[in-house]
Amino acid sequence: MTLTLLQAWTQGRDRLKAAGVDSPVIDARLLVEAAADARRIDLVTDPYRVLSDEQRSRLDEYLDRRSRREPVSRILGRKGFWKILLQVNEHVLAPRPDTEVIVDLVLNAMPEGRRFDLLDLGVGSGAILLAILAERPAARGLGVDISEEALAVARENAARLGLEGKAALLRGDWTHGLGDDLFDVVVSNPPYIASAEIETLDPEVRHHEPRLALDGGPDGLDAYRRLAPEVLRVLKPGGLFALEIGHTQADRVLRLMREAGADEVALHKDLADRDRVVAGRKKALGNGEATR
Ligand SMILES: C[S@@+](CC[C@H](N)C(=O)[O-])C[C@H]1O[C@@H](n2cnc3c(N)ncnc32)[C@H](O)[C@@H]1O
């Protein structure tokens, strides 16, 4: 029996729905498009195109994996973020729309043509660093991650986007080993899930995202306690920082940053109106203070 694009989509949707996937319509469409080498518009303009045997078995494998709750981005090996497309694998967090709040905030603060040095702590796939550098040709960036495997993904993404000359990537434990270099902007989306909570998350996250990208220690705040003083240490006076947070962590992270001495500390919401980013500045130098 033949299988058309439209049948593949509706049957795929039903299969994913039965497996408990919470976005079966979109996911089935994405998997059909990828398996059948079809564009989105083909599902509307050419719905009766018949899939080849090879395309059918590829789709079958994709649906099988998705039914076992592997995320679409992992099955396809790529994920869109801001205006760029990133390669992803089991060693990096699949970048999320929530994190785009940081990109938006930095781009607003740093107009086009501005030269600045950007540091991304816990760079993962390179999402934040590369999305910003792609839009600010005069900027340079450094991405740090403790995972060598994640850095390999970030390096590949930088090269694919033609940004390898502007983005340095370094293995490190947050800012340790960075020496005396100071940055105009420091961003981070650190692990912030409380360890015990990880087992309660959706299988897509629990089984497929790297633990290093999720586990924020007993109360989820371990990374912020380290980052609060370290971020301020590596910022230039007056420099900007932006940290992603879990939506229940605002008060505690705001306090940590204020207690570390940050200025203009404020909370920013995501598109779902949830607390998502704590941003602020390192105090600017007063009259007579020396720069490092
Ligand atoms: C939540 S993921 C964020 C990845 C990427 N920045 C994004 O927003 O999609 C956190 C990243 O921090 C890295 N990481 C965890 N502990 C670290 C540490 N002590 N020093 C540097 N990076 C660390 C993880 O390997 C992971 O890539």
124 phi/psi in degrees, rounded to 5? 55, -130
Report the separation in Å between the CA atom of 121 and the middle of ligand 1, taken as the mean of its atom positions.
7
Domain boundary among 16, 42, 68: 68
Does any domain span residue 286? no
Report the separation in Å between the CA atom of 34 and the middle of ligand 1, taken as the mean of its atom positions.
29
> Are 84 and 206 in the same domain?
yes
> Are 22 and 105 in the same domain?
no
> Are 62 and 100 in the same domain?
no
Instruction: Please give the Cα distance from 88 to 208 (Å, whole number).
Output: 12
Does any domain span residue 289? no
Instruction: Please give the Cα distance from 187 to 193 (Å, whole number).
Output: 18
Are 276 and 247 a contacting pair, CB within 8 Å? yes
Report the separation in Å between the CA atom of 21 and the middle of ligand 1, taken as the mean of its atom positions.
27
> Is any atom of ligand 1 closer than 6 Å to the C-beta of 25?
no
Which pLDDT belongs to residue 292? 44
pLDDT tens column, 61-98: 999 999 999 999 999 999 999 999 999 999 999 999 99
- Residue range(s) defining the domain that contains residue 15: 5-68
pLDDT tens column, 4-48: 999 999 999 999 999 999 999 999 999 999 999 999 999 999 999
232 phi/psi in degrees, rounded to 5? -70, -35
pLDDT tens column, 107-130: 999 999 999 999 999 999 999 999
Whole-model pTM?
A: 0.94
> Are 51 and 82 in the same domain?
no
Does any domain span residue 157? yes
> Are 122 and 228 in the same domain?
yes
> Is any atom of ligand 1 closer than 6 Å to the C-beta of 33?
no
